[in-house]
Amino acid sequence: MDKYLNTAIKAVITEFPKVGAILNEYGIGCVTCGVGTCLLKDVIDIHNVPKAVELEMMKKIEAVINNLDVEEDISSNEAAMQVPREISYSEPIQRLVDEHKLILELLDLVPVLCDKINADLEGSRELVALSADFIRQFADKFHHAKEEDILFAYAKGNSDIINVMLEDHKKGRYYAKSILLGLDMEDASFITYSLKHYRELLSEHIKKENEILYPWLEKGMSVEQLDELQREFDRADSSFESDFYSKWESFVKNI
């Protein structure tokens, strides 16, 4: 068992697919995670599983690995439902989570936006251009920049998960460009394709950050480091116009 505790979760799931099903039942989505390099022992740690639930879950995982019978039906296990999904963040991290909320609000509007584009591309031109601008200015220059230039530096020695996040940011930039390119080409299907893929990408990305990366990074930071993070975020935000946030907030709310 010790060997597997120190093995990357993707390799454990490949060898024992039932382990993925068990984690999934406890709300831990390692099967669909694009990283997969977290060690089995760290997965439990990162996800803040309460001790009693951890013991229950580990018993099942151990039984699968040791090829013992697991009689209980995993899906009907009540303990699985007890994993709290509400996470409380420190002040600077909560700031990023709040920015995610605004980005998610725009992502929620993508299907409506796509319907509008398909019905009347010319009439939706301004809205599409502004949405692409929101992605570039708010999601990327304001939000992703704080992560890339400041937060990710605190993940010393853990580059795999950070590389996946950076790759997602890069793809997001590509989709923003594609949306504007689609406008130039007056190609409604190209725009809606890019918007839908951006929505898919960012929704997953934000979920990974909110539920895994942020709590995990925070856990390794001292109070002094969190204070420092807050100051650095203040500095970064002060380089934007004072109404930057409220301007984009009203844009999303008024769509």
Instruction: Return the structure tokens found at 212.
Output: 């895994």
Smallest distance from Fe ion to CB 151, Å: 9
Smallest distance from Fe ion to CB 102, Å: 11
Q: Which is nearer to Fe ion, 147 or 211 (CB)?
A: 147
Residues 6+ apart with CB under 8 A from 157: none
Residue 25 three-state SS = helix
Return the range that interacts with Fe ion (CB under 5 A); candidates 20-28, 176-184, 185-193, 203-211: 203-211
Residue with tokens 């708010």: 138
Return the range that interacts with Fe ion (CB under 5 A); candidates 75-83, 142-150, 156-164, 186-194: 142-150
Smallest distance from Fe ion to CB 154, Å: 14
User: How many H helices and E strands in the chain?
Assistant: 13, 0
- For position 209 contacting Fe ion by CB under 5 A, the verdict is yes
Q: Which is nearer to Fe ion, 56 or 147 (CB)?
A: 147
- For position 211 contacting Fe ion by CB under 5 A, the verdict is no
Smallest distance from Fe ion to CB 192, Å: 24
Residue type, position 116, single letter: K
Q: Which is nearer to Fe ion, 45 or 140 (CB)?
A: 140
Smallest distance from Fe ion to CB 206, Å: 6
Return the range that interacts with Fe ion (CB under 5 A); candidates 65-73, 147-155, 183-191, 221-229: 147-155
Q: Which is nearer to Fe ion, 209 or 218 (CB)?
A: 209
- For position 147 contacting Fe ion by CB under 5 A, the verdict is yes
DSSP of 109-172: HHHHHHHHHHH-HHHHHHHHHHHHHHIIIIIIIIIIHHHHHTGGGGSTT-HHHHHHHHHHHHHH
Q: How many CB atoms lie within 10 A of CB 122?
A: 9
- HEC states along 74-121? HHHCCHHHHCCCCCCCCHHHHHHHHHHHHHHHHHHHHHHHHHHHHHCH
Interaction site with Fe ion (CB under 5 A): 147, 209
